[in-house]
Structure 1
Amino acid sequence: MRTDLHEANRLSWNAATVAHNSHKGDQAAFFRGGGSTLFPEELDLLGDVAGLSLVHLQCNAGQDSLSLARLGAEVTGVDISDEAIAFARRLSAESGITAVFERADLFAWFEEAIGAGRSFDRAFSSYGTIGWLSDIDAWGRGIAGVLRPGGRFALLEFHPFAMVFDQGWTPHYDYFGGAPIEEAGVGDYVAESGDGLTPGDNQEGVVDFQNPHRSYEFAWGIGEVVSALLSAGLRLERLVEYPYANGWRGFERMVDIGGRRMIPPEDMPRLPMMYGLVASRL
């Protein structure tokens, strides 16, 4: 486990989160007006969450967490970024939607939560989370450890096959993991995605953001992700692949086919852009 790289990523995410939220307008007003940042795929995988306890792992700035709380879940959001958690707490207070947000390295949080006997009916993680994990097996064990018997984990993630391409659709990154991938820092993918990731009021915000902190990512194939959950004692219930990416214009010339679903340009074959899974604890 590379906690040193987790710490570097914390600094990079702190800087990027400020830029990301600068494009999203008055988010509290968006939520007070009944807005939600969830896509249909998340709701399909999670099922009815009303009255259930739910931990949102790597929750970022809390928008999806609050959207789930509005559906009646008792939500705890966890993220490594100080800036993201501080923003999520403010947004909760200003929107009037109740949720608890805890800042911690995910692996340290798992250890503390399991040691304290905390457990949840649902665990949830989505969109760009797997790549920040330096130990996929410890991640699987952590999820199993905080789920109650009969509890379920739902994951919606960008497909690792799509992630072998650079922004210009040239194969560049290894599918199979190895050494951590050092990058210039978490970028402003919200600005690059335009209204794809700003369902409320899209603002210009920070222009030409350059992150002062480098970041480090890890490549995990679907087989490794599924095996980590199975090895932890969970049962795989669903595995779904999608030919579009929700909201994120991560590559050049992506086309919005409606509902903020982005696909490769017409001169390319159909590719798996996301996958989702559901795993349960017996």
Structure 2
Amino acid sequence: MRKDLHEANRLSWNAATIAHNSHKGDQAAFFRNGGSTLFPEELELLGDVAGLSLLHLQCNAGQDSLSLARLGADVTGVDISDEAIAFARRLSDESGIPARFEREDLFTWLEQAARDRRLFDRVFTSYGTICWLSDLDRWASGLAGVLKPGGRFAFIEFHPFAMVFNEQWQPHYDYFRSAPVEEDGVGDYVAQSGDGLTPGASEVGVVDFRNPHRSYEFYWGVGDVVSALIRAGLILERMVEFPYANGWRGFDGMRDIGGRRMAPPESMPRIPLMYGLVANQRSSAHVTVDHGVGGPDQDPR
């Protein structure tokens, strides 16, 4: 585990979070008016959360956490970024949607929560999360340690296959990278994605953001994730892949195919850009693998 790199990422995220939220307009008003930042794919994986305790790991600035709380969940959000948690707490107060937010390194938080026997009906994490984690086995065992018997872990993430390409869709990066990769810092992907990641009023905000803090990413394949969850004793119930990315315009020429789902240019073959899974604490389960079930622009064959 590389907590030194986690700490570097905390500083980078603190700077980036300010830039990200500068583009999103009056978010409190957006929520007071009934807004939600959730996508249908997340809700399908989570199931009905009304009346359930829900742990949102790497919750960022709390927008999805508050959207889940509005659905009736008792939400606890955890993130390493001071700026993100401070913003989430303000947004909760100003929107009138109750949720608790706690700042801590993920591994430290999970270990302490397990010692304190803090258990949850649902654990949720989404989009650009595991690339910041230096130890997947510790992550998976931590999840297992805070799930109630019969509890569900719902996970949705950008597909690691897509990360083989550079922004011009040229194969460039090794899928099987094993060492952490040093980057220029967390970028302003919200500005890059435009209205894809600003479902409320969009503003120009910070222009030409340059992060003063370096960041470090860890690359995990689908097999790494699934195997870590199985080793932790969780049962994989479902896995699904999608030929689009929710909200994120990470590559040249990405087009909105409806519902802020971003797909490659029409000239390209469809590839997996996102995947999700459900794992639980039941005594038995079976694995089903879908390819883009429930989404638009899909080949029915």
Whether these two folds match at TM > 0.5 is: yes
1:281 is matched with 281
2:179 is matched with 179
1:88 is matched with 88
1:200 paired to 2:171? no
Structure 1 Cα separation of the partners of residues 182 and 238 of structure 2: 32
**Structure 2 matches for 1:41-190, cutoff 5 A?**
41-190=41-190
1:219 paired to 2:219? yes
Structure 2 Cα separation of the partners of residues 165 and 112 of structure 1: 38
Identity of aligned residues (%): 78
For the Cα contact (< 8 Å) 1:174–1:219, is it kept in 2? no
Structure 1 Cα separation of the partners of residues 49 and 195 of structure 2: 27
After superposition, the C-alpha distances for 1:144-200 in whole angstroms (9 at most, x for unaligned) are 000000000000100000011111111222211311011000000000000000000
Aligned residues: 282
TM-score by length of 2: 0.93
Structure 2 Cα separation of the partners of residues 6 and 269 of structure 1: 36
1:259 is matched with 259
Shift of 1:273: 0.5
1:191 paired to 2:191? yes
* Structure 1: gaps of 5 or more residues: none
After superposition, the C-alpha distances for 1:96-148 in whole angstroms (9 at most, x for unaligned) are 00000000000000111001111000000000001001001110000000000
Structure 1 Cα separation of the partners of residues 106 and 173 of structure 2: 25
**Structure 2 matches for 1:12-23, cutoff 5 A?**
12-23=12-23
Shift of 1:49: 0.1
Structure 1 Cα separation of the partners of residues 8 and 281 of structure 2: 33
Partner amino acid, structure 1, of 2:151: G
- What is the root-mean-square deviation in Å for CA atoms of aligned residues? 0.5
After superposition, the C-alpha distances for 1:202-233 in whole angstroms (9 at most, x for unaligned) are 10000000000000000100001000001000
2:298 is matched with none
The SS at the match of 1:161 is: helix
TM-score by length of 1: 0.99
